[in-house]
Amino acid sequence: MLEVDRLTHSFVNGGENTTVLKNVHFTVSQGEMVALLGSSGSGKSTLLNLMAGLMKPTEGSIRINGQAIEKMNENQLAEFRRSNIGFIFQAYELIPQLTVRENVELPLVFQGIRAKERRAKAAELLERVGLGSKMEMYPSQLSGGQQQRVSIARSLITRPAIVFADEPTGNLDTKTEKEIIDLLIELNETLRITFVIVTHELEVARRTKRVIQLRDGELVEESGQAGEAE
């Protein structure tokens, strides 16, 4: 499903060449839930951006469902992301002037799906994340945890092959953090959607089935359990 093959990424900073990722290599299977664990500056966010096609790697290749995304141009990447990739952001990134339902529908709007169909799909997913009664509310009327649930519903609306979650609990309290991770695990198990969760929190990583740990741009450990990775 996801193949990261000898990935190296570097950039020139103040005339000095800085390598952020060094020969990173791993694969993720369909339906897996993987945590990408690392401290600040370990290169985990760069790796996420490369996997999402938001950056081009210096060397190596990234394949999602067999397609090398580093070879795609901007429009091809937009098309690819639209159908194959879901995103969950740390700060939720909902459009404030759209309602909860409209926010969830947005990726389908870019796909040109009819309003009726969009509405039905959004309603179904919002029910699933426990926000069926708040569909016509605006993001500003919701709590942080509820907004992240909306973000999760939005990431799943296109039934993507893989969902990248960038510090999904970074802005939440411990109780809500647990609820969100529980929800992600439940969705992973029931919908068989692949999740890659980028986090610096060990507690979050520990809840996933597999942890890939990065340190100074290198993959230092990969394990089936977060505890093992530590």
User: Binding residues for other proteins, per CB under 8 A?
Assistant: 49, 52, 54-55, 74-75, 78-79, 81-83, 87, 89, 91, 93, 95-98, 106-107, 109-112, 114-115, 154, 158
Starting at the earlier edge strand, list the strands of the sheet with 194-199. 85-88, 162-166, 194-199, 33-38, 210-215, 218-223
**Strand-strand pairing, 210-215 and 218-223:** antiparallel
Q: How far is CA 183 from CA 149, 150, 177, 188, 191, in A?
A: 8, 12, 10, 8, 12
Between residues 25 and 159, which has the closer beta carbon with respect to other proteins? 159
> 154 vs 207, which CB is nearer to other proteins?
154
CB of 11 to other proteins, least distance (A): 12
- 68 or 95, CB closer to other proteins? 95
Amino acid, res. 119: R
In angstroms, give the least distance from the CB of 109 to other proteins.
Answer: 5
SS3 of 87-150: EECCCCCCCCCCCHHHHHHHHHHHHCCCHHHHHHHHHHHHHHCCCHHHCCCCHHHCCHHHHHHH
Output the smallest distance, CB 97 to other proteins, in A: 5
Instruction: For residues 165 and 77, give the distance between their C-alpha atoms in angstroms, rounded to a whole number.
Output: 18
Identity of the amino acid at 163: V
Q: How far is the CB of 44 from other proteins (least distance, A)?
A: 15
Residue with tokens 């985990």: 44
79 vs 179, beta carbon nearer other proteins:
79
| Helix (H) or strand (E) run with residue 197 in it | strand 194-199
Taking the complex as a whole, the smallest distance from the CB of residue 83 to other proteins amounts, in Å, to: 7
Work out how close the CB of 226 gets to other proteins at its nearest, in angstroms, rounded to a whole number: 26
Structural contact between residues 162 and 1, judged by C-beta atoms closer than 8 angstroms: yes
